[in-house]
């Protein structure tokens, strides 16, 4: 397989099929006399939204105790760049970069959800579990078991990730790669359902209600746009006449998937804070500016309240 960034990809999306027709042996994009700046303008425009989500999440991250969200948001930003260049050029190198950069944040999102589920099942009353660990002289048996499970989850996630990379490099298995990626959206519902049940049963404050809404919204958005992708992109490739009806649907996938993952990652990070005993964080809002309140509802941000009267810790040399 030719991985050069100047070779044309055999894969097309509904938008380019609707505009130029199906590329095949008798119709090559090299024959287009006046190549546009962007082969797929709608898909390129929505790729900027992916970059925005990645940059927004990275800038507003409160990752003091965790680092997974930094990797996820960085990957989402680079996925936006790769997606833009992929849809602008329809060349094979950017196509592969688009696939791989969207796979890493999705895999890590699933792994931190399952790790948080393990924490919840071992700590279902929101006891300050990590507080006890950090102040203990050594890990107890429960802590060691949870750490072992976390290692297993991360190992399986990376195994899944590298298996998908290998499959993505084989042109004949392109459909299998799509199925494996879609499977991530399905298996994510297992921890999400546990979180929803717990928050519904035990949530008595505004933060718990917001967490419930964002977990549910993120899961539904990712699932719905995933269904839209499979229901439109695959038929377009098999029946080019359908492209004129579905030319805009891949842009919906761009916006929906990036926003859905943002909701899930932001929510799971905040839930992890609570499980580890950090209780001075919450979703940001504005009491004086209505526009900002609406903005923070659509694009939630974790904020930290200042603590007062904290004891100073002396660092001994």
Please check the confidence at residue 3 and state whether its pLDDT lies above 60: no
Which of 25-39, 71-85, 130-144, 210-224 is least confident?
130-144
297 contacts: CB under 8 Å, gap ≥ 6: none
Per-residue pLDDT, averaged over 122-136, amounts to: 49
Q: Which residue has the higher pLDDT, 185 or 28?
A: 185
Residue boundaries of the structural domains of the chain: 14-281
pLDDT given at position 128: 45
Determine the angle formed by the axes of helices 206-238 and 249-275, rounding to 10 degrees.
150
Confidence category of residue 131, pLDDT binned at 50, 70, 90: very low
pLDDT given at position 47: 96
Please check the confidence at residue 205 and state whether its pLDDT lies above 60: yes
Cβ atoms of 290 and 241 within 8 Å: the answer is: no
pTM here is: 0.85
pLDDT given at position 32: 63
Please check the confidence at residue 210 and state whether its pLDDT lies above 80: yes
Q: Which residue has the higher pLDDT, 230 or 48?
A: 48
Cβ atoms of 17 and 243 within 8 Å: the answer is: yes
Which range has the top average pLDDT, 78-82, 270-274, 275-279?
78-82
pLDDT given at position 142: 66
Please check the confidence at residue 120 and state whether its pLDDT lies above 70: yes
pLDDT given at position 130: 47
**Which of 1.20.1070.10, 3.30.750.24, 1.10.287.950, 1.20.1250.20 is the CATH number of 14-281?**
1.20.1070.10
Per-residue pLDDT, averaged over 221-226, amounts to: 93
DSSP per-residue string spanning the chain: ----TTSBPS---HHHHHHH----SS--GGG-SS--S-SSHHHHHHHHHHHHHHHHHHHT---SS--HHHHHHHHHHHHHHHHHHHHHH-BHHHHHHHHHHHHHHHHHHHHHHHHHHHHHHH-TT---HHHHHHHSSS--HHHHHHHHHHHHHHHHHHHHHHHHHHHHT-GGGHHHHHHHHHHHHHHTHHHHHHHHHHHHHH--SHHHHHHHHHHHHHHHHHHHHHHHHHHHHHHHHH-GGGHHHHTTHHHHHHHHHHHHHHHHHHHHHHHHHHHTT--SEEE---SS-HHHHHHHHHS--EEEPPP-SPPP-PPP-
pLDDT tens per residue, range 40-70 = 999 999 999 999 999 999 998 876 556 778 8
- Which candidate, 89, 105, 106, 83, places its Cα nearest to that of 16? 89
Confidence category of residue 280, pLDDT binned at 50, 70, 90: confident
Please check the confidence at residue 25 and state whether its pLDDT lies above 80: no
pLDDT given at position 310: 46
Per-residue pLDDT, averaged over 239-267, amounts to: 92
pLDDT given at position 228: 92
Q: Which residue has the higher pLDDT, 238 or 125?
A: 238
pLDDT given at position 190: 93
């Amino acid at each position: 397989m030719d991985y050069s960034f100047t070779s044309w990809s055999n894969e097309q999306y509904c938008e380019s099929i609707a505009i130029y027709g199906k590329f095949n042996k008798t119709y090559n994009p090299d024959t287009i006399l006046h190549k546009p700046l962007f082969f797929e303008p709608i898909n390129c425009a929505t790729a900027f939204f992916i970059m925005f989500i990645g940059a927004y999440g990275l800038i507003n991250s409160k990752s003091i105790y965790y680092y997974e969200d930094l990797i996820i948001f960085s990957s989402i930003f680079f996925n936006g760049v790769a997606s833009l260049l992929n849809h602008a050029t329809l060349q094979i190198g950017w196509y592969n970069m688009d696939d791989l950069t969207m796979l890493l944040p999705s895999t890590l999102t699933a792994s931190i959800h399952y790790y948080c589920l393990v924490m919840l099942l071992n700590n279902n009353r929101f006891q300050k579990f990590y507080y006890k660990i950090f102040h203990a002289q050594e890990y107890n048996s429960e802590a060691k078991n949870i750490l072992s499970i976390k290692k297993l989850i991360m190992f399986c996630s990376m195994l899944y990730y590298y298996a998908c990379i290998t499959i993505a490099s084989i042109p004949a298995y392109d459909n299998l790669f799509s199925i494996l990626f879609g499977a991530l959206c399905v298996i994510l519902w297992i921890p999400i359902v546990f979180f929803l049940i717990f928050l519904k049963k035990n949530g008595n404050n505004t933060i718990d209600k917001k967490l419930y809404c964002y977990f549910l919204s993120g899961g539904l958005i990712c699932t719905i746009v995933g269904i839209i992708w499979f229901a439109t992109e695959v038929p377009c490739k098999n029946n080019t006449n359908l492209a004129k009806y579905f030319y805009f649907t891949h842009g919906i996938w761009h916006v929906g998937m990036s926003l859905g993952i943002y909701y899930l990652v932001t929510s799971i990070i905040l839930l992890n804070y609570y499980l580890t005993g950090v209780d001075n964080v919450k979703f940001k809002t504005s009491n004086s500016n209505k526009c900002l309140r609406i903005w923070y509802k659509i694009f939630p941000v974790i904020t930290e309240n200042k603590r007062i009267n904290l004891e100073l810790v002396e660092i001994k040399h």
